[in-house]
Structure 1
Amino acid sequence: MPGNFFDTNILLYLASGDVEKAEAADRALALGGTISVQVLNEFAHVATRKMGFSAQEVHSFLNTIRSLLDVIPLTVDIHDMGLALAERFKLSIYDAMIVAAAISVNSDILFTEDLQHGMKIGGLSIVNPLRQDP
């Protein structure tokens, strides 16, 4: 079933002190969807290293996220697809792995600020929930 997939930056904005970005992230996440273990790992890294979260705060935030969204594991197939996508579309390896994970669960929308809004990769549409169209 098609659905939504969320990149790490959407979770980071939800946890940020920026009200506008947090509200945009909250609206997107309210639609439900999926993340990968990569997203959990990246969030934990940035939250502790750059946002000053304690280990307990990271656990609490991610437990809440895990109760709201489906989480898929990283697999060798996702890794291989990500490598191919990175090469074909000139994506960073990390962005390509997110795209590959989204494609692996037949998502039709990837919410991210890291890729070009409106870009299509196969049946996957890139949507920047922070973009404010005129």
Structure 2
Amino acid sequence: MNSERTFVDTNILFYAYDSGSDDPRNEIAREVLADLWDREVGLLSTQVLQEFYSVATRKFKTKLSPAELRRIIALYSEWCIRDTDPLMVLNASFLAEQHTVSWYDALIIEAASRSGAKYLLTEDLQHGRDFCGLEIRNPFLELGDRATV
């Protein structure tokens, strides 16, 4: 397995495909995903795809059709190498309790760890934090206060 495997959180997909926004994170997210495709190191989970579909149907300024969302999900399904199972749920519960992270973030961390990722790209966790060899990276960090939600 490639030592640079990188797990992508939902917010990266959100910014990459939210074409109705002029948020500077949109272009960064698109560049990050293109790089992961080029290097063939991208990973994500079914949880990320589920959250992406839910957010995209409710929060995008320019709505994508269900058919377009299905196309995107089918494309990124290639990056899913682990399904959620009961052990993942149990481990995430311990992770949430021990590290004071949200339940959904704990599931993402556990899925990323179990998938063999070295990095987890997200804006939801502390940049540089390490979870048993999984390094958190915020690709939007350089934007600082220029980014808007």
What TM-score comes out, normalization by structure 2 length? 0.81
Identity %: 38
Deviation, 1:35, is: 0.5
| Structure 1 CA distance for aligned equivalents of residues 119 and 52 of structure 2 | 20
Question: Which structure has more strand as a fraction of its residues?
Answer: 1
- Letter paired with 2:127: H
Unaligned runs of 5+ in 1: none
Which moved further from structure 2: 30-39 or 40-49?
30-39
> Is the 2:7–2:44 Cα contact (8 Å) retained in structure 1?
yes
What TM-score comes out, normalization by structure 1 length? 0.89
- Letter paired with 2:47: Q
> Which consecutive segments of 4 or more residues in structure 1 shift more than 3 A?
none
Unaligned runs of 5+ in 2: 145-149
Per the alignment, residue 54 of structure 1 pairs with: 65
- Letter paired with 1:45: S
- What CA RMSD, in Å, does the superposition of the two structures yield over aligned residues? 1.8
Deviation track 1:37-95 (CA, whole Å, cap 9, x = no partner) reads 0001000100112223331121122223234x344311111111111110011010000
| Structure 2 CA distance for aligned equivalents of residues 18 and 85 of structure 1 | 35
| Structure 1 CA distance for aligned equivalents of residues 143 and 66 of structure 2 | 37
- Which residue, out of 19, 22, 25, partners 2:26? 22
Q: Select the structure of larger CA radius of gyration.
A: 2
| Structure 2 CA distance for aligned equivalents of residues 113 and 33 of structure 1 | 17
